[in-house]
Structure 1
Amino acid sequence: MEAQKLHVIFLPFPTPGHMIPMIDTARLFAKQGVNVTIIATHANASTFQKSIDTDFNSGYSIKTQLIQFPSAQVGLPEGVENVKDGTSNEIIDKIIRGIMMLQHQIDIMLHDLQPDCIVSDMAYPWTVESAEKLNIPRIYFYSSSYFSNCASYFVRKYRPHDDLVSDTQKFTIPCLPNTIEMTPLQLADWIRVKTSATGLFVDMYDSEKRSYGTLYNSFHELESDYEALSKTTMGIKSWSVGPVSAWINNDDERKANRGNMEMNIGKDSELLNWLNSKPNDSVIYVCFGSLTRLSHKQIVELAYGLENSGSNFILVVKGGEDFLHDIEKRVKESKKGYVIWNWAPQLLILDHPATGGIVTHCGWNSILESLNAGLPMITWPMFAEQFYNEKLLVDALKIGVSVGSKVNKFWLNVVEEKAPGLNIVEEEVVVKREEIVKAVEILMGSGQEGETMRMRAKKFADAAKRTVEEGGHSFNNLIQLIDELKSLKIVREHEKIRLDN
């Protein structure tokens, strides 16, 4: 039986926004009877191994194959193997260099394991060749929205931002069903000008065209227009099987442990007690994902903005600024706020009846998790494709309020940049407390705009639950893809027998 089973290898890219949805997707495949292998380095595997062991002990065919991260060769301490561990550009460069050096080890493992299909992150364009050598399909795993992939495609193709007189002038993205306006400053650096990353991204997108198809952590009811657009205009076969966290993390223990090895139960019961003491829909949850650190100036504006808004809030922060300890003390006394350091049990917070909205950096995982919980969003994109995702939420789906973030910049580039004119960039990057207060009042207030957004968000939450149930769009897509891969395997095996004879 084991030999007859479809064997699929998953190759996640080690940064939480990419890794978490891919691990969830791998577990979904296993739950549908597929023999699944996840390839990861030791430190990265330790963040999800508990879930894999649970699935394996429940009778599913799923395992992790470990590879060695070249820490010594790139000059990194043991265990620093994930982009989120980068505290400076220098360290991030070393981590990425280490990840790129894994190709040889992975290729040997693919050859030894002889899988029927490789599902690999977009950041590994070379797996197209690996799959060709093995005569198997490579599926491109895109960890964000159809919308962002379509928008990026048309911006790269038509370059509507090239002839503008200033970086703050608006342009319209061509060929989209909604009118979407942006400024050049909201585009990633590598699109605006040629940088060292431009070539890497071109290779990634090129590898999508050469792959068997693309797997999306999205769902038909959320992005049907853009799903259709990606298939027709971009001509790429795709399957939306999301929101994968809704299939997988449906009990409290799993929600608590998501993306984290151990949960501090004592601390969390204090958090839950605080949440339980608040009225329904009265708390706004503020979290900027696993990669963003805010500048001191921005943290000050954010903290005062939240306090001045009068709403109850939970603020997740990285690092230990003295100023934040003062804020924490103050909001503890007033019982208006709760500060969480470093890691938060996000799914538990989002699903709590007291939570009524979220301030998000527009990372796709956070967006889907908020939608699963039926929560509208305040959008505060930082870098990468987050500004596209903001446009989807605010302009297309109408479930978000923008705080007016203007510049697409990775946090380290803001902190480390020493070039002349830095102050101008700093000024532009900072979102003022007044803008924060205004956005919170719209989202959490009793006005018509906030009310409409809440209703729309709840409709998407219902659709998200239905789509992953038997007979739902995402459920059917997953079964269809697995069936297709099984058929390809049979054809390959017949072909091999024919050639052998």
Structure 2
Amino acid sequence: MNFHYIPRNPKNLVMDSHSQSPHHIVIFPFMAKGHTIPLLHLLSHLRRRFPLVSLTLFTTAACRPFISQFLSDSATDSVSIIDLYFPQNALDGLPTCVDRPDTLPTELWAATELMQPEFEKRLQSLPVPVTFLISDMFFWWTIESASKFGIPRIIFNGMSNYTCTITPAVVKSRVFAGVQSEDELVTVPDFPWVKITRRELNPVFWPEADPSSHQFQFIMKLLIPPIKSYGLIVNSFDELEPMFSGYMRNSERIWNIGPLCLHKYSFDPTTQKLQMQQSTDRPKWFEWLEEKHKQGEGVLYIAFGSMGEISSEQMKEIEIGLEESGVNFLWAKREEIKEMEDKGFEERVKDRGIIVREWVNQWEILKHGAVKGFFSHCGWNSVMESLSCGVPMLTYPLMAEQGLNARMVVDELRAGMSTVEETTSSMKGLVKGKDLKRCVRELMEGEKGKEVREKAMEISEMAKKAMTENGSSWRNLELLMQEMCNNKSSLLMHTELLPLNGRGVNYA
């Protein structure tokens, strides 16, 4: 069988400017960091593993600076980046260039369709024919564009196999019909050990959801392209959720190719060590973490994503819980919620807590040796990064599929704790300061915290193994490239690859 061999000489990783590649991959991430970052990791991964493949990234002008900075230290010098613009005055309130794409309202997700004509024009004018397209699930309309030019489209959905399996099972069975309480646990058909509440499911999937609503119509549009698309790539790995991966494979092509945050680990395990130690421009939070680490003190990292909303009442309760817990913490806060803060909170906790208001590289924080826990909204990106670093989670889901992610971390993986009683979900619920104080202490210092930390470390080792040569995710990406390139590429050299042991098998 033909497979691409990864050269050990770093010089061989740079594309020869005179070489001609018969294959070209176009990547189009959605304009939110949680959607963009894993695809940037994939782009870097492809560049290093398949250096002769041409790569093009589509984005918006507003996202271009972040992407350029993010890729500045990667071997991506030959990647083409193309800016797209929203049409001028095409929709009231929608600018041609979104300054804060992470704050794009739900109602405007569908407005990305307005870029379709320009996208197709630029796609058609590319100098190298496109072998296949990888686009975010929110760009449902790209299946139409790809079909026009005979290009296979692969979906990146940014969610787990667990979520992609449980959600349709619940919707199809209508198990929540007649259930009045949002906190009542209901058994999911076909998965009798899985119990969830209404809170953990996006209201658009509730039986009484309004089919005329903008969000409902948009979600319905997302359900058709997977049927027509070539397949689905998932930022997960076979060993993490073998049963749900196997269930997904019964109905569509999927490739688990993550955790993508570990893409550098595939080539050099020493990259897990903090590279910022050699920098002369280290951020304040790094120096602070270093000091806590030297003192042998653990730190709780806190972040709730770039899109979720937290009420001023909840913000106050979180501050109370953290202050009374006595633990060290690093809190990455968005600048716009500063007005919700207790003005004296930061001063009172300054000896053991630090608040960072600018965007931070979450991966660099989570892999620091001082960080022993993560109080998180449970976006799938955050889940993957936390578990890849062996850091257990304290779950506080806010929106979208985060409730299901939290349920998976706590009930399926046993690598985290909920901020409320296990019989309910914190999704959209108020967590009292006294309860948070108890949970934080238990995670950082208690027996339960020790158990979930050990489990998180086990998962971390499995994740690293999946991404290294001949690991499950390594092989899945190899198989994806082989299938899409039809085994005709001179890029794929002869080497031995172990066969997969069936679908959904737990290789661990």
Q: TM-score range by the shorter chain?
A: 0.7 to 0.9
Q: In the alignment, what sits opposite 1:326?
A: 344
Is 1:219 the counterpart of 2:232 in the alignment? no
Q: Which amino acid in the other structure matches residue 193 of structure 2?
A: T
Pick the aligned partner of 2:392 from 370, 376, 381.
376
Contact 2:302 2:375 (8 Å CA) reproduced: yes
Q: CA deviation at 1:57?
A: 6.1
Is 1:444 the counterpart of 2:444 in the alignment? yes
Pick the aligned partner of 2:69 from 32, 50, 75.
50
Write the distance in 1 (CA, Å) between the matches of 2:148 and 2:47: 25
Is 1:187 the counterpart of 2:201 in the alignment? yes
Contact 2:403 2:425 (8 Å CA) reproduced: no
Q: In the alignment, what sits opposite 1:496?
A: none
Contact 1:284 1:314 (8 Å CA) reproduced: yes
Residues 371-422 of structure 1: CA deviation (Å, up to 9, x unaligned): 111011111111100111111111111111111374655xxxxxxxxxxxxx
Pick the aligned partner of 1:106 from 115, 119, 127.
119
Q: Which amino acid in the other structure matches residue 340 of structure 1?
A: V
Is 1:354 the counterpart of 2:370 in the alignment? yes
Write the distance in 2 (CA, Å) between the matches of 1:204 and 1:248: 32
Q: In the alignment, what sits opposite 1:148?
A: 163
Write the distance in 1 (CA, Å) between the matches of 2:285 and 2:219: 40
Write the distance in 2 (CA, Å) between the matches of 1:289 and 1:370: 13
Q: In the alignment, what sits opposite 2:37?
A: 20
Residues 345-375 of structure 1: CA deviation (Å, up to 9, x unaligned): 3222211211111111010111111111101
Is 1:435 the counterpart of 2:435 in the alignment? yes
Residue 367 to residue 436, structure 1, CA distance change in 2 (3 Å): same
Q: CA deviation at 1:153?
A: 1.5
Q: Which amino acid in the other structure matches residue 472 of structure 2?
A: H
Correspondence 1:119-268 to 2 at 5 A: 119-176=134-191, 179-192=193-206, 193-194=209-210, 195-232=213-250, 235-248=251-264, 251=271, 265-268=282-285
Residue 395 to residue 487, structure 1, CA distance change in 2 (3 Å): same
Residue 324 to residue 35, structure 1, CA distance change in 2 (3 Å): farther
Is 1:7 the counterpart of 2:24 in the alignment? yes
Q: In the alignment, what sits opposite 1:80?
A: 98
Q: Which amino acid in the other structure matches residue 130 of structure 1?
A: S
Q: CA deviation at 1:102?
A: 0.7
Q: CA deviation at 1:9?
A: 0.6
Contact 1:27 1:62 (8 Å CA) reproduced: no
Structure 1 residue runs without a partner (length 5+): 257-262, 410-428, 491-501
Q: Which has the higher contact order (CA 8 A, sep 6+)?
A: 2
Contact 2:305 2:377 (8 Å CA) reproduced: yes
Q: CA deviation at 1:489?
A: 7.4
Q: CA deviation at 1:343?
A: 2.1
Indicate the SS of the match to 2:148: helix
Q: CA deviation at 1:324?
A: 3.9
Write the distance in 2 (CA, Å) between the matches of 1:80 and 1:128: 24
Residues 49-80 of structure 1: CA deviation (Å, up to 9, x unaligned): 1344554566xx42211122336544356752
Residue 83 to residue 154, structure 1, CA distance change in 2 (3 Å): farther
Q: Which amino acid in the other structure matches residue 444 of structure 2?
A: M
Residue 111 to residue 248, structure 1, CA distance change in 2 (3 Å): same
Q: CA deviation at 1:268?
A: 3.8
Residue 446 to residue 55, structure 1, CA distance change in 2 (3 Å): closer
Write the distance in 1 (CA, Å) between the matches of 2:283 and 2:201: 42
Q: Which amino acid in the other structure matches residue 241 of structure 1?
A: I
Identical-residue share of aligned pairs (%): 29
Write the distance in 1 (CA, Å) between the matches of 2:62 and 2:101: 12
Indicate the SS of the match to 1:437: helix
Is 1:338 the counterpart of 2:337 in the alignment? no
Indicate the SS of the match to 1:286: strand
Residue 53 to residue 344, structure 1, CA distance change in 2 (3 Å): closer
Q: Which amino acid in the other structure matches residue 243 of structure 1?
A: P
Contact 2:116 2:145 (8 Å CA) reproduced: no
Pick the aligned partner of 2:56 from 37, 40, 59.
37
Write the distance in 1 (CA, Å) between the matches of 2:153 and 2:392: 36
Q: Which amino acid in the other structure matches residue 46 of structure 1?
A: P
Write the distance in 2 (CA, Å) between the matches of 1:442 and 1:71: 53
Q: In the alignment, what sits opposite 2:310?
A: 294
Residue 302 to residue 54, structure 1, CA distance change in 2 (3 Å): closer
Q: CA deviation at 1:274?
A: 4.3
Residues 316-348 of structure 1: CA deviation (Å, up to 9, x unaligned): 22222263441111111xx12111114233222
Write the distance in 2 (CA, Å) between the matches of 1:438 and 1:248: 37
Correspondence 1:389-428 to 2 at 5 A: 389-404=405-420, 406=425, 408=427
Which segment is superposed worse, 247-256 or 382-391?
Answer: 247-256
Residue 266 to residue 225, structure 1, CA distance change in 2 (3 Å): closer
Q: Which amino acid in the other structure matches residue 126 of structure 1?
A: W
Point out the structure with the larger helix share: 1
Q: CA deviation at 1:4?
A: 4.1
Write the distance in 2 (CA, Å) between the matches of 1:165 and 1:293: 25
Question: How big is the alpha-carbon RMSD for the aligned residues of Structure 1 and Structure 2?
Answer: 2.7
Contact 2:290 2:370 (8 Å CA) reproduced: no
Write the distance in 2 (CA, Å) between the matches of 1:264 and 1:337: 22
Q: In the alignment, what sits opposite 2:466?
A: 467
Residues 261-302 of structure 1: CA deviation (Å, up to 9, x unaligned): xx974534543444335425x211111011123211111100
Residue 454 to residue 85, structure 1, CA distance change in 2 (3 Å): same
Write the distance in 2 (CA, Å) between the matches of 1:252 and 1:231: 32
Indicate the SS of the match to 2:125: helix
Write the distance in 2 (CA, Å) between the matches of 1:189 and 1:384: 9
Contact 1:468 1:475 (8 Å CA) reproduced: yes
Q: Give the alignment's TM-score, normalised by structure 1.
A: 0.83
